[in-house]
Amino acid sequence: MLSSWLQGNNWSEENVGTRVYSDYGFVHIYALTMTLGVILSIAGCAVQFYRKKLNFRELWIAAVIVVPVGLLGASFFGKLNAQNGSNADGVGFFGLFAFWKAGMSIHGAIFSTVTVGIIMFNIVSVRNKVSVWVYADSIAPNVLLGQVIGRWGNFFNHELFGKPAGLYEDKNVMSWLPAFIRDNMAFRYTGSSTNDLIQGQVYVMHPIFLYESFFLLVSWLIITLVLPFIGRWIGKKPWKLNPEKYSFDIKYSYKYFFTRKKEEGKKTYWDVWEEATSLNFEEKQKDRYIKEIDNINDKNPIIRRFKKGKLLIDTNNPNKYLLTRSGVEFGGYFFAWNFIRFMLELDRPDDHLFIMYQKTLSLTLIGLTAFSGLVIIFLTQWILPYFIRKPGYIYEQHYFYVNNVKDKSENKHIVKNTEPNPKVLKAQEKLKKQLEKKNK
């Protein structure tokens, strides 16, 4: 019906059917959904930190720092040039940071939090010997949960809708929608009749908030519950390579998933995979790594780095299990979120775009951000692991620990087989106890 359009003052809410309101007494629904969204996102991150055995202290510190930064970034980009040449309500520079007022940009929130998060977790990564990609995978996808909830705040504010789908009086238009949503997507056109629209008629608008909320939730489910485990489903299985060591009880696995109650002598599906990938110190070829690492002396530094990285990966995963590597979920988040936004941006009014009144630029930037997500997936799965990984760090699995010291007489690096760091010792002790219980 329309290729390019403005919301502006051309549309007014039509009071028909069941109405929802932005405020119910002292409760401001938009602020409530934002708060619930932040809480749900942090809860999702906490689950991932628990599953990956990461220190919760870093999560709480990050939440205290990153959440305010995200609010300020969202407000700044949401109000900047919101009125085609001037900021929202004509505010000055400091007024751009009034996050409690209308005008928020999710891209502004994400870009600002990612920038601060990368700096913060790079410092934490060196101290804790946990790859920054592990933190990124544990946090970024769960932002989708906050976005899912936040979109319903837009619904109660009667905003974030797309082009008109048809006349409200035509019951066949958007008939699949629940009545309370269809009624609140009813808007009267008050603009000129120089286009296909009829002045004074009530139209049902496309509920972009609902589309985005639904597809973001689907994306979260795929990134969280499918993407990390694809390799396990289609690749080699520990219980097929070593049935005696890696057998598990499927019924007990389902039971434990819901009850979280451990039973002695039984292993779950997840126990077996953890033992086979992270706690398999007896299978990892540490001695081979120590023996061969100094024999890699290619003159080309890129080839030399690649071969050393490949040796590290191969010796930590001697059975060549097909694993989704750290960073892939982070890339999946950026791709999914921006791909969805790109498709919906095509339907949004020019005065409600990512870059206000600049549809081509807005679509270009969102498209490039989505493409960057694919690039991150490709690099973190197939390229970067061979060039930037180090012994003793935690990635999608625990890497064995070695110590690099310098031989002063020969002025070269020698890898020594030293005792593992305390975290590795603790993991080994845990595995030892599990094996003792099994043998009793």
Is 277 part of any domain? Answer: yes
Is 349 part of any domain? Answer: no
**pLDDT score recorded for residue 94:** 79
Neighbours of 54 (CB within 10 A): 20
Which pLDDT tens digit goes with each residue over 283-334?
999 999 999 999 999 999 999 999 999 999 999 999 999 999 999 999 999 9
Tell me the whole-structure pTM to 2 decimals: 0.87
Is 416 part of any domain? Answer: yes
Residue 203 in contact with residue 167, Cβ under 8 Å? yes
Mean pLDDT of the 92-97 span: 80
Q: Which residue is it, tokens 């946990």?
A: 130
Give alpha helix (H) positions in 94-161.
106-128, 132-139, 143-156
Judged against a pLDDT cut of 90, whether residue 406 lies above it is answered with no
Is 32 part of any domain? Answer: no
Is 418 part of any domain? Answer: yes
CA 248 to chain centre: 31
**pLDDT score recorded for residue 351:** 81
- State the residue range of the domain holding 249: 236-321+401-439
Residue 164 in contact with residue 205, Cβ under 8 Å? yes
What's the mean pLDDT when you consider all of the chain? 88
Is 108 part of any domain? Answer: no
**pLDDT score recorded for residue 2:** 61
Query: H or E element: which one contains 165?
Result: strand 164-167
Q: How many domains does the chain have?
A: 1
Is 260 part of any domain? Answer: yes
Q: Say which residue, 5 or 426, is predicted with more confidence.
A: 5
Across the strands, what pairs with 403? 416
Is 427 part of any domain? Answer: yes
